[in-house]
Structure 1
């Protein structure tokens, strides 16, 4: 197969992470096709040129439309703020380019539906589309999913998921794009709550069907930044910039707390907050069943905790399973057992799965349809919060019409 040449749109924190994946995956895994980091795109010509040189891209550009139209581009990797995801992804798919798009898929359900429809049209021509819920590809998370599918915890009764950060506790933190609804779509709910939702659905294999929740904004005004962030990626860029004159309105939530009813009838509790003082990037999940329980914490990402309720009473208790053996997902390509992986490795695993899907003509997951489902859960939580936390049904998955 010909070399797959990649164009990445955006160059902030998430651009650095994705670049790490594109650089490293071909050198670690035996990919079925060669990949090339062809071009990185952003509005600021000087800044994006520096990013290209630093991260290993062949060239830089400032017009994503021109780049998508190029015949030598095969994959478009989108790491811009959410307000541009739909336009870029649909244009790329319609141009016959495979697409990797950061989460959440879009800012609205309507945008996500249009993106899923474009992905379905493209799929008829062998073009692939994938959403960047990268935490699925932490080996311990993939292993946790395998254990649940094997029936280790039995019938699931309750799931607890939270994603806690604290970078907004300081009221003098400038008004970055992530705090503006027109750019980010929502706040903690969409930014990190989307990860918690996808994690629950991924490891349990069940959809969230109804929700009851509440959103809150703790600091309602913040200092304006000296300059905008442009197409600066979907990570934490622009969060520590200097404040300019005056204040601007925060138009997204700081905290989202909600309950979900899964397809089996089991309850799930969710928390997404950027006001959890002392928590820097704490994503955790615990799944409780009638035979046992499993737990994962991103702050200890090379292990899962397992409780075997079927063991003799004198031997019961949570025990730590170190997920670093060659038999564990993705691990055989890396280091000897016990030598640990980190945050960045998930992005290499993401590249591996996408390239294999493209070459083998299989759907790399999560698909745009999966991203649309998460978007519908986010929208249902917002509706519930607007209506005094009443139980709200997640809009049904209907066939996507091309």
Structure 2
């Protein structure tokens, strides 16, 4: 059974892992803490960027010879393969670590097996310490590996009666400045931000992460079936970040010479295939998506079973009329309702941020707060929060 020192060390490793959110894709976020043989902290580290040293290597470098006979606490099973960096399991063995505790097993078939390598070398291995917390912090990458597509977080802002705009379409600002700043944090943690043509046409959004120090800008994606929404000079076409425009296979691109990166996707019942879009993004190394935009686009992803997490910002405001947050999602009876499991509720300024995951998800999802339809369609316009 883990003692308080074990728990404290792994908790610190989870905190360290969170520092890599938004900068390690397509790799996971990982934290590592090393205690020497007497239980003193001698090294810690986290995976800082894709292609750079893994968390274990940073921690081992800090610990030096003091790691010999000690214990390593890692949020994810140490890798067992050589890619752009060497296998961390072997590095731990060579450092003379006597014991390794990892929170979550590595589901990646190319990297798994680190625990077996450690055991074969005589290292004592434990698994599952603070697994729930480590899973929550790394849920985007874990979901992408388990499902073979990017993790999708749907974000929306609404009044208490579920309206995202007034009857005359005005919506700036439903939520307060604190919530709007929090959305930029979500953007900075995502590999891609997706909106539909309605938002692109009406709001001319920028979709970059602002005021986040060191942020790696996400890929900006517009679902524009007819290739008519992203006009020359649109803010989304500036050089702040890359932009991908998804259009129908038969879309006329004769007037779209201003679009630098276009992908053609098959049509679905209403718009473009959501699975096809996510497959393209996954092939490009996108492991996490922030779904923004309007209710129609959100409904398409919900109908496709492609929403892994919902983050709703609810403002203490009532409108009584206007568009709802979620459009047609293929749900016609209460028995088919998508039931969600609330994992977090927290005040953000004057607003309430609620995080929830599908209750019937087949894979484990976040159950605690982090440290700190088969088609995509043209969505109704909705202002950025």
Same-fold call, TM cutoff 0.5: no
RCO greater where, 1 or 2, for CA within 8 Å and sep 6 or more? 1
Normalized per residue, which structure has more helix?
A: 1
TM-score, normalised by the number of residues in structure 1: 0.28
TM-score, normalised by the number of residues in structure 2: 0.29
Computing the radius of gyration from Cα coordinates, the structure with the larger value is: 2
